[in-house]
Structure formats: structure tokens, C-alpha cells
Amino acid sequence: MKMQKHNISLESEQHFDGRLPTQHLGYLMANMPVAIRGAVSMAFRNRSKSKGPTPKWLREASDLRFTGHGGNAVTHLNFELPTLSDAAEEIYSQQLLFESDRPNEKLTGLDLLIDVFDEIDASKSDSGAFDPQLLRQVSKFQRFFKSGPFTGFRLFGSKASSKKEILVNSDTMENSVQLYGKTPMPQRVRIVGSLDGIEASTQRFSLLLDSGERVTGVFPEESSDQLQKLWRNRVLVMGKAVFRASGNLLRVEAESIDCGKDSAALFSRPPMPTKSKLDPQRLRKLQGSRSGMSAIMGKWPGNETEEEIGRALEQIS
């Protein structure tokens, strides 16, 4: 298997002379392969996590190997990782439905993670590079920065990557938390449309709606044989809609896909979020003389008797 070399540089105001603190280094080492796996899974399967065993090709694409470290004023960690074509040869050998979405086969999983960090740094709320689960995984890098000597780490891409390097720091973590906070909650949906695409290797499907719009989703592995019979037919999909931070649909996680010949056209439209998560930014508002605590402080006279308070409560109850 052909391996690509990668370098991760640790940013710090301290010089370690090659003697690295193991606790915070351990946070980085433990979280990096999981984040890479999520980035690769998003690129191929439009979801960073799924139930059931992890496919062999996905394990190999995220099999990050530490080969040593060096540097003096700046610490350099050296890694190796297979190219996507070597790790996922079985997928690249197939004629895929989502050809335009397939990553460059010369890239590595770390290259894809660099793209994820780049989208998060740019606060791209309509990005398809991450989902809510991957945003949560990225936010776990916070442990690397908390109460430690490191202010960031710099990832360097492979020769095939157009993004040569990126700095990940506390700002990246803050952006990931904010994007996660803005993402609407998943919700139950039913969608009707023509099943015009099936991709068994990644369990993805495509629906052509009556309006001409197309939505994509993922289906349970056990539904694969049934979908072959329903291909190009009108179907009814029952499941869960997962949204981007922008509120636009990211994917539909199907629980069942059945014949929908008589299903109403009312359900042949893209799902829209009805519930949103609490965005912490909405709570951070400046207080003036007539807002916040100033609006209530001193408004209660405080000289009422218990009987007067009791009568007032009865009137408004």
C-alpha cells in the first residue's frame, strides 16, 4: 500500500527540546484518527458516523501511523497515511452514482480533514464537508488547548492537496461550537419521489421530487435488495432529515423505503426545519437602561404586606 507522509507542527510559546508533555499530546493523538475517519466518511457516504461495523476501506483510510518527531523551537510530528485510492480501491473501481462527489484518489484522509477545518474556519454554514456529529468530534480538540502549553497545531497536506496547510486553534474550536449551535435539530419526515439513484457500496440513494428538485439520503444496509426492485419507481421514504447549519437539507436517513405509487404529491418537496437548536450567540445581547436587569431592578416596591401580595397573585392566577 502506497503511503503518503504528513507533518503536524505544534504551536507553543515554550520550547520542549524534544521532550513533549504526554497528556496533551495524547489528546491530539487519540482524537486525530477519529476525526479523519469522520471526514472520509462524510466525503464518501455523506455522514460522519453510522450504526454497525466500520467498513474495512474506511478503517484503512483513517489508519494514521506515527513515525517520529523532530524540531527544536517548533515540534514537528511525522505521520503516514495511505492514499484514498489504496485504502478504498474497491470503491474507486466501481462506477459510482455520485461521481462528482468522489474525492481525488491521490488525496489522503488527512487532506479531507484539512478541508473540513478550512470550511469551519470560514464558518460555512451551508458546507457539505461536515455534519453535526463531525462538528462535535472536532470540538473535542478543545482538550488539547485547555490548561496546556499549546496554542494550536498546523496540519500540512500531501503533494496532491490544493490546501497545503492550515492552522487549527481555539478560534477553530469556537467556530465549530457556533456552527453546531446553529444547526437545526433532526426531525421526522416522509418524502415522496422517484428513486433515480442507488449506491450500494456507500448506502446512498437519490430521489427526484415532483418539483424537479433532488434530495439525497442514506438507507439501511438490509434494504439494498428491495431498492433494486424499486429503482426508477415512485417511492415513499420514512425517516429522519438531517440539516446543515444554514437550515438547508444535508441528507435524509431512511428507515424504510417502500412503493409510493399512490402517495400524495404534498410530500414530494424538500424537508424544512421546524425546530432549531439554541444558538448561544442569541443570548449575548448588550443591556441598556430599559433592558436586561435594568428593566426589573427597583420596579418592585418591596413594602407590600403578605396579604396584599396574596391578593395580587390570586388576581393574575
Check residue 297 and give its pLDDT.
56
Residue 299 has pLDDT above 60, yes or no: no
Query: Is 280 part of any domain?
Result: no
**282 is a domain residue:** no
Kindly tell me if the per-residue pLDDT of 190 is higher than 80: yes
Residue 317 CA to residue 192 CA, distance in Å, equals 48
Has residue 283 got a pLDDT over 60?
no
Q: Which three cell numbers stand for residue 54?
A: 466500520
Q: In this structure, are 63 and 151 located in the same domain? A: yes
* pLDDT at position 97: 60
Structural domain count, the chain? 2
- Residue 281 identity: Q
| Residue 78 domain flag | yes
Residue 197 confidence (pLDDT): 87
Spatial distance between the Cα atoms of 314 and 161, rounded to a whole number of angstroms: 70
Whether residue 94 sits in one domain with residue 62: yes
Question: Which domain, by its residues, includes 100?
Answer: 3-182
Give the model's pLDDT for residue 298: 57
Residue 224 in 3-state DSSP? helix
Confidence of residue 313 (pLDDT cuts 50, 70, 90): low
Pick from 182, 209, 232: which residue ends a domain?
Answer: 182
Q: Which of 185, 182, 229, 221 is nearest to 200 (CA)?
A: 221
Mind listing the pLDDT tens digit for each residue in 76-111?
Answer: 899 999 999 999 998 888 766 655 578 999 999 999
* Residue pair 136/125 in contact by the 8 Å Cβ criterion: no
155 and 71 part of one domain: yes
Query: What does pTM read for this prediction?
Result: 0.82
Residue 155 lies in a domain: yes
The highest-confidence range among 23-27, 31-35, 144-148, 219-223, by mean pLDDT, is 31-35
Please give the pLDDT value at position 98: 54
Residue 312 has pLDDT above 90, yes or no: no
Which CATH number belongs to the domain containing residue 254 in this structure? 2.40.50.140
Same domain (yes/no): 165, 20: yes
Strands 214-218 and 204-208: antiparallel
- 164-182 in b/e burial notation, b at 16+ Cβ within 10 A? eebebbeebbebbbbbbbb
Answer yes or no: is 295 within a domain: no
Residue 305 covered by a domain: no
Q: Does residue 237 share a domain with residue 149?
A: no
Task: Give the mean model confidence (pLDDT) for residues 59-73.
Answer: 88
CA–CA distance, 191 with 260 (Å, rounded to integer): 10
What is the chain's mean pLDDT, rounded?
86
Claim to verify: residue 159 and residue 193 sit in the same structural domain: no
Of the three residues 267, 287, 305, the one that is the final residue of a domain is 267
Q: What percent of the chain has pLDDT over 70?
A: 83
CB 81 within 8 A of CB 110: yes
> Are 66 and 153 contained in the same domain?
yes
Tell me, yes or no, whether 87 lies in a domain: yes
Mean pLDDT of 203-226: 91
pLDDT band at 252 (very low <50, low <70, confident <90, very high): very high
Together in a domain, 50 and 69:
yes
pLDDT tens digits, one per residue of 130-180: 999 999 999 999 999 887 788 899 999 998 888 889 999 999 999 999 999
Res 9: pLDDT = 92
Question: For the residues 105-123, what does the mean pLDDT come to?
Answer: 97
pLDDT tens, position by position, 227-238:
989 989 999 999
Predicted confidence at residue 292, as pLDDT, reads: 54
The dihedrals phi and psi of 222, each to the nearest 5 degrees, come to -70, -10
Average pLDDT over residues 119-126: 97
| Residue of higher predicted confidence among 264 and 100 | 264
Helices (H), the chain: 22-45, 56-61, 84-87, 89-92, 109-121, 132-139, 142-145, 170-182, 224-230, 306-316
Neighbours of 72 (CB within 10 A): 10
242 and 111 in a common domain? no
**Which region among 68-72, 215-219, 240-244, 268-272 has the lowest average model confidence (pLDDT)?**
68-72
**Residues 99 and 200 placed together within one structural domain of the fold:** no
Q: What is the pLDDT of residue 107?
A: 96
Q: Are residues 64 and 210 in the same domain?
A: no
Domain boundary among 251, 267, 283: 267
The pLDDT value given to residue 85: 94
Please indicate, yes or no, whether residues 50 and 134 belong to a single structural domain of this protein. Answer: yes
pLDDT of 46 reads 93
Report pLDDT for 80: 95
